[in-house]
Structure 1
Amino acid sequence: MPASTTGLTRPHPLAAAARVVMLALVAVLTLIATREPGQLRWVALLAVAGIPAVVAPGHRLLAPLGRFAEVVLVGLAAGQVAAAANIGTPMPGVGASAILPYLAVPLTVAALQRRVREGVGLIAVAAVTLILSGVLNSGGDGPQISQVGYLTVAAQWVILAALGLFAAGSLQRTIQARNETRPQPYTEATRLLTQLRSVARQLPGATLDPGSISDHLIEELRVVTRADRAAVLSASGGGRLVVLAQAGADRVDWETTLDADSAIADAWASQQPQTAHRSQARSHSGGEVSALVVPLVAGVRTVGLVTLEADVANAYPPPVVAQVTALTRPAALRLEAALLFDEVRSLATNEERQRLAREIHDGVAQELVMVGYGIDNALASLPEEAKETGEELRTLRGEVTRVITELRLSLFELRSEVDRHGGLAAAIAEYARTVGASAGLRVHYTLDESTARLPAATEAELLRIAQEAITNARKHAGASNLWVTCAVDPPFAQIEVSDDGQGIADQRPDGRYGLAIMAERAERIRGRLEISPRHPSGTTVAVVLGTSPRRDNVRDSVTASEGE
């Protein structure tokens, strides 16, 4: 039967140890006071009475009865021990004081379990029992006690027990209040994540995407004011900003360095709108420009910036600035929620990938290595005449080696991350180089990455797409060459993987499944996956974010390099 129905919860080791220590103390004091080993029978009875409270501390009936039995025994024993010690002459109180300290045990347990009424009842029973015990031991032929001395000692210990009950109860309430006002980290994390899950289920999917929120904000702002160029930027670490979304006829190379002399840096530092008469884009060719930079502040934290530019003078007077600011205030809260949600999801995903990598490395990978060693040992001890068996073992050893190689590449893929200092192109190139070397592929690179960075979550998804495309080419294409192109010019990016293999039409079902995964990842970051045949043979897989005039130039250069 479950513990919740019987109350037979597991005893706490500290509670049992405290009772044993107190019983030993009372036994020693009783021997010192009476010098009669026979008085230790009361200590033995107390030990028996305390068994229910130790074995079944959560039982609704046995545990309280055990504590009341302990109090009654203490009261009866106090009179007997006091009489045996001749408390009236010459040291009244010594005998009773030997056994009465045990009152603290049942009273403290009741207080810690927040049984206030039981504690008051225990004190009342203790007082009545002590009085009756004093009366019974004040007459007769045996040893007698001094009523005044005995009652004085008994009253002192009852008062001390009551104060202990009150102190233990106050301590328990204080601990409970502190736990309620200052939750433990995991409790608080559970509460917040539960709230986040509820909010995420209630909101439309796009409202928790930073890029979608930024696009919508730009559209709203372009309704109320002129903006030939506009962008929403957010922090990426390292004193730089990333472009979440932008609008404009041409490519814009925004100033993303926070330590530069620009209105963008000033708005970020001051949390106040900044106007300027020069462009905040490094790529702008010149001419008359009005610029407005409005910080997106959520509480006391700057989560992003909105940059607007118009190719006219004085395009952003104070009334327009006020209109823009009114629109950005609620947008800042939405953007902060989306960025936090994105960060939590990325952290959880990365942690899970690392966990899987550890489990594969410490589990199946090690076991396969041991299988390979076993086959090697079998081959070494095989007689020379068993040629057919040897060939089978060597074939099996080759297959085990192949599987181990696949596992190692999978581990490398799981552990690969975009370094915040190296960039996306470096991470893709490292992965392609490692995979190409293991598969005997000649890898050709075309890397064109600007100093500006994409959001960390976007870079992570692009890396996973590139990894899947490279893995598909290695496993299913039967190619000799691999062309990897990485062009990053935030918010535009294009990753392209081409091979000279057999083409996508003859690929196995698991290869098509990999293409479906890449399409889902591209959709998650508002990109598009493009799959096309490569002439004269092979397949090209590309993921594209945004648009850029440079895209055609990049494609032309890649086509020319492949034809050489």
Structure 2
Amino acid sequence: MLGLVAILTLVATREMGQLVWVVLLAVAGIPAVLAPRHALLGPLGRFAEAVIIGLAASQVAAVAVTGGGWGASAILPYLAVPLTVTALSRRTREGAALLGVTAAVLLVGGALTTSGGQRQLAQPWYLAVCAQWLILAALGLYAAATFQRVVRARGAAEPQPYAEATRLLTQLRSVARQLPGATLDPGGISEHLVEELLTVTRADRAAVLSASGGGRLVVLAQRGADRVDWETTLDADSAIADAWASQQPQTAHRSQARSHPGGEVSALVVPLVAGVRTVGLVTLEADVANAYPSPVVARVRALTDPAALRLEAALLFDEVRSLATNEERQRLAREIHDGVAQELVMVGYGIDNALATVHSDAKETEESLRTLRGEVTRVITELRLSLFELRSEVDRHGGLAAAIAEYARTVGASAGLRVHLSLDESTARLPAATEAELLRIAQEAVTNARKHASAANLWVTCEVDPPYARIEVSDDGQGIADQRPDGRYGLAIMAERAERIRGRLEISPRHPSGTTVAVVVGTSPRRDNVRGSTAPEGE
């Protein structure tokens, strides 16, 4: 900048003597160069530069060849140097003070400047040029300060999400400890909301739906005499899709269920909006006309608005728990694969090498080694199955039945079990947390049958009709009475998982031999009606 100012000064004045101002600016800048962070020398040097700029600009303007005050433009560009330094050093107030000092010196210098031996007042052109450069300098100071704030914000952006996550998770932990477990259960909140709605309006069918992956909805709770196959796609031409997109209640004169036979229907779909986010929908249907006028809609919204926040908290809690659980399972799988599994494989190779060097007359040693090798092979197989179980997840597109079937086939093939599958899965999906727990329960039941039942056949039944689901695993083994303590521990784990998703675990002997383990979630009016009509007397 000093070189540029020197050239402009020579062009404007054509006098070598005017370069003394450039030399003074260089001297004034020395303290800021040698001690840029000094609390006193740095600011003094910058203020000295501001004073020299004001005096030099007025003098150069007076002796400039072109006249009219434009000669001040030869020196004033250097004003950007001290102002930029103050902005990058987060000294915005100092920069503003430098601008003020420069403006005052320019005005006084212009008034006291002599030209041709006579003192003359500052000319309008001179004032206009000085004002122009001062405005540009002020804008530059503001831009540099803004840039510095952006840099600081980006520098702090890396740890900020972690700090925010820590704060939120701490609050979540406190809330989870204070509230009952059912309070953070999406299914329980949804069923309670449906029961409340049925007290303020008529509904032959009602459901609470929430978002799932792939642009679909899942049924959290529902009421009705018959099975309802609700419209769960958000790109369909339905009141459900319109309510989700608009965040406003929608009424319709046709059912929102794909399974409804038709006829006169009144439908009301109310979005559950927490803040600016739609977390779910409430769908009410009555087999009469005009069942949901404006007063009824107002009463329904009076119940759904506060329920939206509770449901969002429960869904977030489920998501956080699921993410933490999945991450821990993956971590354990990696540790087992990279640690114990690899070491056991090396032990097996060592036994193989020992067998190759055993003399033919050492029959007992050879037999012991072969027995040990078989045991190591068994443990490695167990570890591989455990790794497969840890890494198994419910695919977003495949569904729960596909995940359970894949696990049963893999384990059955490894253990020599004949696997019989019966899969009946609706196109609607269960909540992700419910599907994950049901998969773990099925895995534990299959593992128990493989390890402890000494069975030849395994029957796996999967019925999914949201919000109803039934997973049943049966074997023809020795029965539950003869199982070891670790098998009973597995049953306790299954019971805890079932309780977590508000399901019930049913364990019963299978005739003529074996055990049946079933977990049931929700209710299915269609199945309950069928069972009630076919059940024998006294059941």
Q: TM-score w.r.t. structure 2 length? A: 0.72
1:238 is paired with a residue whose SS is helix
Distance 1:360 1:190 in 2: 29
Once the two structures are TM-superposed, the CA of residue 552 in structure 1 deviates from its matched residue by 6.3
| 2:384 is the counterpart of 1:421 | no
| 2:204 is the counterpart of 1:228 | yes
Moved more, 287-296 or 423-432: 287-296
- Relative to structure 1, the CA distance from residue 402 to residue 104 in structure 2 (aligned partners, 3 Å threshold; closer, same or farther) is farther
Give the equivalent residue in structure 2 for 1:6: none
Distance 1:204 1:173 in 2: 48
Once the two structures are TM-superposed, the CA of residue 102 in structure 1 deviates from its matched residue by 9.8
Correspondent of 1:281 among 230, 237, 257: 257
Correspondent of 1:210 among 186, 204, 207: 186
Structure 1 residue identity aligned to 2:210: S
| 2:365 is the counterpart of 1:365 | no
- Cα deviation per residue 1:359-417 (whole Å; 9 max; x = unaligned)? 11111101100110010011111121211111111100000000000000000000101
| 2:353 is the counterpart of 1:377 | yes
Residues 103 and 161 of structure 1 are in contact (CA less than 8 Å); yes or no, is this contact kept in structure 2?
no
Q: How does 1:68-467 map to 2 (within 5 A)?
A: 108=37, 119-120=39-40, 168=89, 170=91, 184-467=160-443
Moved more, 248-257 or 300-309: 248-257
Q: Percent identity?
A: 84
Distance 1:202 1:395 in 2: 55
- Relative to structure 1, the CA distance from residue 123 to residue 377 in structure 2 (aligned partners, 3 Å threshold; closer, same or farther) is same
- Relative to structure 1, the CA distance from residue 372 to residue 314 in structure 2 (aligned partners, 3 Å threshold; closer, same or farther) is same
- Relative to structure 1, the CA distance from residue 102 to residue 368 in structure 2 (aligned partners, 3 Å threshold; closer, same or farther) is farther
- Cα deviation per residue 1:79-98 (whole Å; 9 max; x = unaligned)? xxxxxxxxxxxxxxx9xx99
Structure 1 residue identity aligned to 2:204: D
Residues 256 and 452 of structure 1 are in contact (CA less than 8 Å); yes or no, is this contact kept in structure 2?
yes
Once the two structures are TM-superposed, the CA of residue 182 in structure 1 deviates from its matched residue by 8.5
Once the two structures are TM-superposed, the CA of residue 192 in structure 1 deviates from its matched residue by 2.3
Give the equivalent residue in structure 1 for 2:519: 543
Residues 204 and 225 of structure 2 are in contact (CA less than 8 Å); yes or no, is this contact kept in structure 1?
yes
Give the equivalent residue in structure 2 for 1:500: 476
Give the equivalent residue in structure 1 for 2:450: 474
1:513 is paired with a residue whose SS is helix
Once the two structures are TM-superposed, the CA of residue 183 in structure 1 deviates from its matched residue by 5.4
- Relative to structure 1, the CA distance from residue 533 to residue 163 in structure 2 (aligned partners, 3 Å threshold; closer, same or farther) is closer
- Cα deviation per residue 1:119-162 (whole Å; 9 max; x = unaligned)? 449999xxxxxxxxxxxxxxxxxxxxxxxxxxxxxxxxxxx999
Count of matched residue positions in the alignment of Structure 1 and Structure 2: 424
Distance 1:356 1:343 in 2: 20
Distance 1:435 1:506 in 2: 22
- Relative to structure 1, the CA distance from residue 550 to residue 470 in structure 2 (aligned partners, 3 Å threshold; closer, same or farther) is farther
Moved more, 244-253 or 435-444: 244-253
Structure 1 residue identity aligned to 2:167: R
- Relative to structure 1, the CA distance from residue 319 to residue 537 in structure 2 (aligned partners, 3 Å threshold; closer, same or farther) is same
Once the two structures are TM-superposed, the CA of residue 476 in structure 1 deviates from its matched residue by 0.6
Distance 2:176 2:31 in 1: 57
Distance 1:376 1:441 in 2: 28
Flag structure 2 segments of 5+ consecutive residues without an equivalent: 1-22, 45-80, 92-144, 533-539
| 2:460 is the counterpart of 1:484 | yes
Distance 2:274 2:499 in 1: 28
Residues 485 and 497 of structure 1 are in contact (CA less than 8 Å); yes or no, is this contact kept in structure 2?
yes
Residues 104 and 161 of structure 1 are in contact (CA less than 8 Å); yes or no, is this contact kept in structure 2?
no
Distance 1:189 1:105 in 2: 43
Residues 468 and 518 of structure 1 are in contact (CA less than 8 Å); yes or no, is this contact kept in structure 2?
yes
Once the two structures are TM-superposed, the CA of residue 204 in structure 1 deviates from its matched residue by 2.7
Moved more, 318-327 or 404-413: 318-327
1:519 is paired with a residue whose SS is helix
Distance 2:311 2:378 in 1: 47
Once the two structures are TM-superposed, the CA of residue 469 in structure 1 deviates from its matched residue by 0.3
- Relative to structure 1, the CA distance from residue 467 to residue 177 in structure 2 (aligned partners, 3 Å threshold; closer, same or farther) is closer
- Relative to structure 1, the CA distance from residue 106 to residue 188 in structure 2 (aligned partners, 3 Å threshold; closer, same or farther) is farther
Once the two structures are TM-superposed, the CA of residue 299 in structure 1 deviates from its matched residue by 2.2
Q: TM-score w.r.t. structure 1 length? A: 0.69
Once the two structures are TM-superposed, the CA of residue 260 in structure 1 deviates from its matched residue by 2.2
Once the two structures are TM-superposed, the CA of residue 297 in structure 1 deviates from its matched residue by 1.5
- Relative to structure 1, the CA distance from residue 161 to residue 371 in structure 2 (aligned partners, 3 Å threshold; closer, same or farther) is farther
1:505 is paired with a residue whose SS is helix
Distance 1:214 1:541 in 2: 28
- Cα deviation per residue 1:190-220 (whole Å; 9 max; x = unaligned)? 2222222223223332221111111111111
Structure 2 residue identity aligned to 1:218: V
- Cα deviation per residue 1:230-262 (whole Å; 9 max; x = unaligned)? 100011122211100111222222111222222
Structure 2 residue identity aligned to 1:345: R
Distance 1:181 1:383 in 2: 69
- Relative to structure 1, the CA distance from residue 375 to residue 180 in structure 2 (aligned partners, 3 Å threshold; closer, same or farther) is closer
Flag structure 1 segments of 5+ consecutive residues without an equivalent: 1-93, 109-117, 125-159, 557-564
- Relative to structure 1, the CA distance from residue 230 to residue 403 in structure 2 (aligned partners, 3 Å threshold; closer, same or farther) is same
Distance 2:87 2:432 in 1: 56
- Relative to structure 1, the CA distance from residue 337 to residue 443 in structure 2 (aligned partners, 3 Å threshold; closer, same or farther) is same
Structure 2 residue identity aligned to 1:395: T
Once the two structures are TM-superposed, the CA of residue 185 in structure 1 deviates from its matched residue by 2.6
Residues 376 and 397 of structure 1 are in contact (CA less than 8 Å); yes or no, is this contact kept in structure 2?
yes
